[in-house]
């Protein structure tokens, strides 16, 4: 167990404050104090800053690791073990230093004020592991893409091979070897003209059909559609409606007979996270399995299935967690804790606080039945208002659970401050948050931790070895 994991931090904190003060602190969590009062109570204890504050260590790119993985991939490529070669080339690409990443393609779904703020933040932030496009000082990324394109060509995945060739050329592939890529590109084009169907040629014939089924699952399928949507909840069918009661809160009830197999809801998740072991093989944005991933430009932990998903994540949900995921690993905390940041949704503290003030004002004038619905009376799973009003079940939780979650919220707030990616102004410029800013953020992260356990769910995949 790491010396700075969450349990060790708590033990150090308890030893520092002593049993008498710890007993007094625990008593406060068994009372009727608000989340804000509880978080401020912990924040005002001097020993908490001494024992619970950890230095933020980002996940950095490493050219030496990238080169080692690429050499290992070359060994398997020569042995014609393309499956293992592909795996090592993927790891090489994930660890290679990445050129500056601050330009978006002209996509209407991405170009908005929030994205412009993120773009400004990317331009302002000095990222130590970035290099300029086309520089020759570090060609690890280009070499990784080039080598992977060779594997994809052997697997007869010609479209993906062409994409990797383009990435290699974009990221500074050596001019002296450019003729190799041009030759491979032409072979791909010729093969596509012959309309060759992709197959895995390095396996025995009786294994190909099985593996092809596995490979096909790496690409997303089209979701079904509701026959008739509910007017109040567009992501639900008309066979159910939203209801409210003091004991159950907001819930769904049936208004007509529902037959086995009827489609009731198709709802986009507000946010999500992957387990550590799946981060390198599943898209951080859409969760599809990635046979041929694109790396995060900043960290070496997550991957994406396409450039579109990468743009959406880098200038969206992944932005806040990117610099902090590595520390969650060091603290032996599950990646699910990164969701507390994703729940904030807004690109900066200033914009989030403005939205929060509006929600708090609306809360004072709305009945409990209306909370969670927007001003048009619609429940939207992607609206921050629906998340803000989710239950925490604070009153039903034991004091020990509240105490531990408050400690984790303290650590997460401190890491968010150190990341300098959320406490920024309207123009994306970082600023030092005051105590009131940090208390408001800590209270919110404290609340988010409890909302996740009450309202989140987990999808598990079982894999069978054939």
**Beta strands at 130-131 and 98-99: parallel, antiparallel or unpaired:** parallel
Q: What is the pLDDT of residue 105?
A: 41
C-alpha pair distances (Å), 316 with each of 220, 290, 301? 21, 20, 17
Q: What is the pLDDT of residue 119?
A: 58
Residue 408 makes CB contacts below 8 A (sequence gap 6+) with 6, 333, 337, 449
pTM to 2 decimal places? 0.85
Q: What is the pLDDT of residue 254?
A: 95
Q: What is the pLDDT of residue 107?
A: 40
Q: What is the pLDDT of residue 381?
A: 87
Q: Which domains does the chain have, with CATH numbers?
A: 63-97+138-210 (1.25.40.10)
Q: What is the pLDDT of residue 76?
A: 97
C-alpha pair distances (Å), 79 with each of 82, 84, 151? 8, 10, 12
Residues 227 and 237 sit within 8 Å (Cβ to Cβ): yes
Residues 414 and 52 sit within 8 Å (Cβ to Cβ): yes
Spatial distance between the Cα atoms of 49 and 123, rounded to a whole number of angstroms: 32
Spatial distance between the Cα atoms of 377 and 456, rounded to a whole number of angstroms: 24
C-alpha pair distances (Å), 317 with each of 97, 265, 309? 22, 24, 11
Q: Which neighbouring-strand residues pair with 295? A: 303
* pLDDT per residue as tens, the chain (466 positions): 345 688 999 999 999 999 999 999 999 998 789 999 999 999 999 999 999 999 999 888 999 999 999 999 999 999 999 999 999 999 999 999 988 775 444 343 444 556 555 555 655 554 444 444 444 447 999 999 999 999 999 998 999 999 999 999 999 999 999 999 999 999 999 998 885 554 444 445 545 454 555 555 555 567 788 989 998 899 999 999 988 888 888 889 999 999 998 999 998 889 999 999 999 999 999 998 888 999 999 999 999 999 999 999 998 889 999 999 999 998 988 888 899 999 998 889 999 999 999 999 988 888 888 888 888 889 988 899 999 998 899 999 999 999 999 999 999 999 999 999 999 988 888 999 999 999 999 999 999 999 998 888 877 776 666 5
| Radius of gyration for the chain, computed over Cα atoms and rounded to the nearest angstrom | 25
Cα distance between the two ends of the chain: 34
**Which DSSP string corresponds to 39-105?**
HHHHHT-HHHHHHS----------HHHHHHHHHHHHHHHHTT-HHHHHHHHHHHHHHS-EE------
Question: Helix, strand, or coil here: 14?
Answer: helix
């Amino acid at each position: 167990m790491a010396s700075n994991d969450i349990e060790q931090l708590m033990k150090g904190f308890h030893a520092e404050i002593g049993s008498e003060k710890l007993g007094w602190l625990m008593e406060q969590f068994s009372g009727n104090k608000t989340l804000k009062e509880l978080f401020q109570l912990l924040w005002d204890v001097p020993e908490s800053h001494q024992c619970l504050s950890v230095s933020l260590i980002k996940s950095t790119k490493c050219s030496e690791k990238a080169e080692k993985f690429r050499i290992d991939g070359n060994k398997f490529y020569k042995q014609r073990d393309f499956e293992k070669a592909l795996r090592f080339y993927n790891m090489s690409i994930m660890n290679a230093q990445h050129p500056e990443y601050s330009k978006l393609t002209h996509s209407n779904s991405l170009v908005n004020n929030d994205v412009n703020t993120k773009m400004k933040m990317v331009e302002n932030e000095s990222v130590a592991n970035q290099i300029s496009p086309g520089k020759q000082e570090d060609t690890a990324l280009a070499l990784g893409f080039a080598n992977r394109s060779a594997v994809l060509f052997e697997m007869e995945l010609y479209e993906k091979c062409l994409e990797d060739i383009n990435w290699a050329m974009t990221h500074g592939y050596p001019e002296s070897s450019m003729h190799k890529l041009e030759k491979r590109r032409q072979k791909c084009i010729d093969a596509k003209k012959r309309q060759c169907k992709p197959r895995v040629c390095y396996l025995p014939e009786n294994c190909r059909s099985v593996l092809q089924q596995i490979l096909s699952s790496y690409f997303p399928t089209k979701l079904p559609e509701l026959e008739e949507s509910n007017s109040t909840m567009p992501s639900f069918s008309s066979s159910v409606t939203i209801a409210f009661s003091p004991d159950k809160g907001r819930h769904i009830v049936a208004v007509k007979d529902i037959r086995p197999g009827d489609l009731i809801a198709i709802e986009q998740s507000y946010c999500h996270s992957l387990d550590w072991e799946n981060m390198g093989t599943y898209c951080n944005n859409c969760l599809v399995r990635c046979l041929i991933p694109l790396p995060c430009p900043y960290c070496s932990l997550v991957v994406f299935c396409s450039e579109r998903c990468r743009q959406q994540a880098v200038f969206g949900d992944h932005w806040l967690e990117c610099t902090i995921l590595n520390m969650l690993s060091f603290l032996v905390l599950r990646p699910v804790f990164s969701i507390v940041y994703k729940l904030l949704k807004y690109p900066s503290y200033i914009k989030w606080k403005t939205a929060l003030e509006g929600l708090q004002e609306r809360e004072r004038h709305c009945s409990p039945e209306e909370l969670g619905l927007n001003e048009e009376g619609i429940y939207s799973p992607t609206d921050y208002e629906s998340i803000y009003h989710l239950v925490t079940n604070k009153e039903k939780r034991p004091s020990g659970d509240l105490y531990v979650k408050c400690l984790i919220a303290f650590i997460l707030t401190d890491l968010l401050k150190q990341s300098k990616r959320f406490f920024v102004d309207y123009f994306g410029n970082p600023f030092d948050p005051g105590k009131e800013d940090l208390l408001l953020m800590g209270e919110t992260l404290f609340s988010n931790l409890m909302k996740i356990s009450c309202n989140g769910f987990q999808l598990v995949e079982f894999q069978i070895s054939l």
